[in-house]
Chain A
Amino acid sequence: MLPADLKAESFKNYPPEARKLVTTYLAALQTLPLSFVPNLLREAIEYDFKFPAERRALERELAHLQSIFGEPSSKAAGEWFQDFAKIALSPQLQQMDWVNSPAQFVEQLSTHLWATHQLDAFRKAATNYAERLQDAVPPEPPPIPRLGIAVIGRGVTANEQPLFRKLRPHGGHFSQVKPEGGLTILLDAIADRAQAHPISYGHWYVDGGEAAGRFPAVTVVSYLGLEPVRSSLLRRMRSQIETPGMGPEALRSQLAQMTPSELGLESGDQVLDRFRLKLLTEGSGTQIFSTTFAQWAAREALRRAQPCTLLVRFAPRQRQRPMNELLTDKPEQAELDPVGSLIDADLGAYYNWVNQRRLPGTEQSSFLAWFEGHSEAVAIGPAMPRGTESSTPTDLRELLALIS
C-alpha cells in the first residue's frame, strides 16, 4: 500500500481522537512519501494519549502540511520531500501494515537504512524537514519562563570528586549554600509555581526514590511509586525471554504492545499511565537503575510534555554486583551505591539542562542543581554571569530568586 491509496477507512482501528485527526488531514497524508508518512502516523496513532503540548505540535504540523500540500499539484511538496522521496525502500517494507503498525515500520525502516547505507541521507532529509517546519511553524513559547531543578547525591555523606563540572561554565557555582531545609524550599517553589500558573501537565516532580509528598497541580512520577509495575514487568520479561524462539526484536515488539492496565497502571489518568508505562518498556536500564529512570523520565517529560517547571531528585540506585559476587551462591541483597549514583546523577543533571535548553524559550529559562544536604550548587539563568564562583553564604531560596 502506498500513501496515495490511503482512505478514511484505512484508519478504522485507530483510537477515536487519532482517527478524527488523521481523516481531517487525509489529503496531505496522501501526498507524502512512504519513507516519511509512517513516522508521522507513529505520532498520530498515539494522539489520544499525548500531552497537550504534543497534541498542539502535531495538529500544527498537520495543518501546515495540509495548507501547502492539500493540492495534488503543489510544487512545495516536491521541495519539502524530495530527499525523503529518494530513499529506496525494500518490497518488504512496502508490504508492511504501516498504517496500523507505524512504530514497527519505523523500526524496520531504521534497520533497512543502516543496512543499505542510507542512514546519513535520511538524517539529512529529516534535519532539513525539521528546519523547514520550525521556520514555517515556530514552536510555541512557554507561558512562563521554564525552571529546571536537579537534586543529586541523596545518601552521600562525603564526596571528594568535583561536581557540576559540565554545568559550571554556564552559570554560577556556589560553595556556601545552606543545606538546611533545602529540599522543602525547592518543593515549595514548584508547588507555588504550579498554584500561580495552573497549566495541564505544566509542572513536574520526578523522584528516583519515593516522592516527598503530593502537590496539587504537579505531575508526580517516582521510581518507588512504580515498584509493583516494575516488578510485574520484569517477571513478564523473564518469562518471555525463556520462551523458545524469542529474540530481542520480538521482545521489543511485545513490550511496545503492552497496555498500562496489563501491568496494573490504572490511576484514572490515561495519558500519565501511558507515559509511565513507556518509561519502563521503552527506556533502557530504567527497569533496573533508579538513576537511569530519573534521567530518562526527565528527558521524556521535557521532550513530550514540555513542562514549565521540572524538579528531578535523584536517589541511590542498586549496586551493580561484580562477577565474582555473582558467582557465589549467596542470595542477592539489595545494596545501594550512593557514590556511583552521585556520579550518575551529576551527569544526569547536565543532561536535564541540555534537554531543557532544546525547548523554546531557552534564553529566558533557568536551571538550578544542588548537592542534596550539602553546600554546593550551580545556578544558571539569564542574569547569572557564566563561569563564576561564589563562596558567599546563601540559601536555595536566594539562588532561586537570583535566576528567576
Chain B
Amino acid sequence: MRLSLQSGVHELTRRLARSRRDFLRDAAGVALGSALLGSGTLSHAGIATKNRKVVVITFGGGARDQETFAPEGQENIPHLMKELIPQSTFFTQVVNRGILGHYVATASLATGVYETINNFASLPPEHPTVFEYFRRERKRPASDAWVVAPSNGFNRIGESSHRSYGAGLGARVILPKHLLTAALSSGHSDYQHLLRDNYETPFYAPELAGSEVELEQLDKILNLSVEDFKAHARTLSSPDELSVYVVRQLMRQEAPSLLWITMHDIDVAHAGAYSLYIEGIRRTDRLCAEIWRAIQSEPEYAGKTTLFILPDFGRDSDEDSGGNGFQHHRTGDAPSRTTWMMALGAGVRENVVFDRAMESTDLVPTIGAMLDFSAALAQGKPILELA
C-alpha cells in the first residue's frame, strides 16, 4: 500500500532523525537522551540567570545530511563531529514548517513564530524578537543584544514591527560586509559587488533601511580603526570569516548577553557549483569551532555561556524532481525542512542525543527559560531537555 504524502513526509523526517542519531552514536559515542530523561539527571547547572549569556549561530544557509551528518558527509564537518558534539546535547529532528527563505526563516527563528514577510524586502519581523523580549523584561540596554549577519538583507532582523515591542527595544545589528564596503568605498574603488550577496537572487543588493551600525561607530563599538578593519579584511577569504572577526571584537568590547550570528557562506550553493557549497560547509564548521573556543577563552563568557548551533533549514533532496538537489531549497520536501540543533556550554548535558521531533520555533521560548524572560507571543515551546 502506498503511503500518503503526509505520512510519507513524517516517516522521512523520522528516518532522517534516526540516521543522524545512529551515526552520532557510532561516530561520536553519544548517549541516547531519552534513557536519561527519567533518571532525573537533567538539571540546571546552577548558572545564575543574571550572569548567563546565550550565543546563537545559524549554520547557514542550509546544508543537507549527505554533506554533513550522513557517513559520506562527515569529512566536511570534522570540528562539529570531533570537538563540539562530544560536548553537546544534540537534537536530531528540528522541523521548520515555515517559509524556506533565509531572511524570513531566520526571522522565524528569532521570533518563535513562522513569519510570512517578504523574504527579499527590507522589512522587520511582524512578531517580537527574542531580543525585544529579553531587553524589555530584563530591562537590558541596547548594548546587551547584538546580531551579526553577513547578508545585507538582514538589517531589519533585530527589531520587530510589533506595536507592543519594536522601536527601541531590539538588538543592534552589524552587517560586516556593509561596513567593509563603506570603509573601502571611502577610498577610490567601487566595491558594490560585495553587497551583492543574496545567493537566492544573484546580483541583487537590497536598499538598507535599518538600524545597523554605521561606519563612524566602528571605532566606538568595536575599537577598530577603519584602516585596521580594512587591513584585517584583506586577510580573510569569506564574508563569514569577516563576521567571526567582528563577533570576536564585539565579545571583547561589548560582551553582550545575547549574541546572534547568522552564517551565510554555504548559500553559495544557489550558484550550482557543488565544490563551492562543500567549501562553505567546511568553512562554517571551522568557524563554529572558533566561536566556541572564543567563548571558552573570553573571561566574560567562559563558564556561563550556552551556545546554540542550528541551520535555518536544509536543502532539497536529490530525489525530488521539483528541485535540483543541493542547489536550492524550493520544494518544501522533508529534507529541506528537517534539520538539527546542538546546544553546548552552561547548563547543558554533554554527549547526549535526542531524536524526538521539535520545531525551530522552540528556540526562542527555550532561550527565554534560560535568560528568565517570557516569549509570550512565540508559537514554540521551551525544550524541556534544556530549559
Residues of A participating in the B interface, judged by any CB pair closer than 8 Å = 114-117, 119-120, 123-124, 127-128, 165, 237-238, 241, 247-249, 251-252, 283-286, 288-289, 291-292, 295-296, 299, 317, 320, 322-324, 326-329, 337, 339-341, 343-344, 346-348, 350-351, 354, 358
Instruction: Please indicate the chain A residues that have their CB under 8 angstroms from the CB of B230 in the complex.
Output: 327
Closest to A286 in B: B272
* Residue pair B203, A324 in contact (C-beta under 8 Å): no
* Residue pair A284, B237 in contact (C-beta under 8 Å): no
Closest to A325 in B: B237
Asked whether B222 is an interface residue with its Cβ less than 8 Å from the other chain, the reply is no
Asked whether B242 is an interface residue with its Cβ less than 8 Å from the other chain, the reply is yes
A296 with B324, Cβ < 8 A, contacts A322-B238, A327-B184 known: yes
Query: How many cross-chain pairs have Cβ atoms below 8 Å apart between A and B?
Result: 129
Q: Which of A119, A120, A248, A299 has the most CB of B within 10 A?
A: A248
* Residue pair B273, A120 in contact (C-beta under 8 Å): no
Whole-angstrom distance between the Cβ of A191 and the nearest chain B Cβ: 29
A115 with B99, Cβ < 8 A, contacts A284-B328, A285-B202, A322-B237 known: yes
Asked whether B380 is an interface residue with its Cβ less than 8 Å from the other chain, the reply is no
* Residue pair A323, B241 in contact (C-beta under 8 Å): yes
* Residue pair B275, A343 in contact (C-beta under 8 Å): yes
A351 with B239, Cβ < 8 A, contacts A284-B271, A320-B276 known: no
* Residue pair A124, B114 in contact (C-beta under 8 Å): no
Instruction: Please indicate the chain A residues that have their CB under 8 angstroms from the CB of B163 in the complex.
Output: none
A288 with B204, Cβ < 8 A, contacts A323-B236, A324-B236, A351-B324 known: no
Instruction: Please indicate the chain A residues that have their CB under 8 angstroms from the CB of B271 in the complex.
Output: 284-285, 288-289, 292
Q: Mark B322-337, 1 if CB is under 8 A from A, else 0.
A: 0011111001100000
Whole-angstrom distance between the Cβ of A332 and the nearest chain B Cβ: 10
* Residue pair B273, A292 in contact (C-beta under 8 Å): yes
Whole-angstrom distance between the Cβ of A103 and the nearest chain B Cβ: 15
* Residue pair A251, B204 in contact (C-beta under 8 Å): yes
A247 with B121, Cβ < 8 A, contacts A123-B5, A344-B274, A344-B275 known: yes
* Residue pair A248, B201 in contact (C-beta under 8 Å): yes
* Residue pair B272, A117 in contact (C-beta under 8 Å): no
* Residue pair B120, A249 in contact (C-beta under 8 Å): yes
Whole-angstrom distance between the Cβ of A208 and the nearest chain B Cβ: 12
Asked whether B297 is an interface residue with its Cβ less than 8 Å from the other chain, the reply is no
Complex Cα gap A343–B99 (Å): 30
Instruction: Please indicate the chain B residues that have their CB under 8 angstroms from the CB of A350 in the complex.
Output: 318
* Residue pair B235, A247 in contact (C-beta under 8 Å): no
* Residue pair B233, A324 in contact (C-beta under 8 Å): yes
Whole-angstrom distance between the Cβ of B221 and the nearest chain A Cβ: 22
* Residue pair A120, B239 in contact (C-beta under 8 Å): no
A296 with B5, Cβ < 8 A, contacts A123-B332, A323-B242, A324-B235 known: no
A114 with B72, Cβ < 8 A, contacts A284-B327, A292-B273 known: no
* Residue pair A326, B193 in contact (C-beta under 8 Å): yes
Closest to A318 in B: B273
Complex Cα gap A351–B320 (Å): 11
Complex Cα gap A299–B196 (Å): 27
CB contacts under 8 Å to A, within B163-217, are: 180, 184, 189, 191, 193-194, 196, 198, 200-206
Instruction: Please indicate the chain B residues that have their CB under 8 angstroms from the CB of A299 in the complex.
Output: 324
Closest to A332 in B: B193
Between A and B, 8 residue pairs with Cβ closer than 8 Å are A241-B203, A247-B121, A251-B203, A284-B327, A284-B328, A291-B272, A322-B237, A343-B275
CB contacts under 8 Å to A, within B318-356, are: 318-319, 321, 324-328, 331-332
Instruction: Please indicate the chain B residues that have their CB under 8 angstroms from the CB of A358 in the complex.
Output: 321
Closest to B66 in A: A166
Complex Cα gap A286–B235 (Å): 30
A241 with B204, Cβ < 8 A, contacts A323-B238, A343-B275 known: yes
Asked whether B223 is an interface residue with its Cβ less than 8 Å from the other chain, the reply is no
Complex Cα gap A122–B301 (Å): 47
Whole-angstrom distance between the Cβ of B172 and the nearest chain A Cβ: 24
Instruction: Please indicate the chain A residues that have their CB under 8 angstroms from the CB of B275 in the complex.
Output: 337, 339-341, 343-344
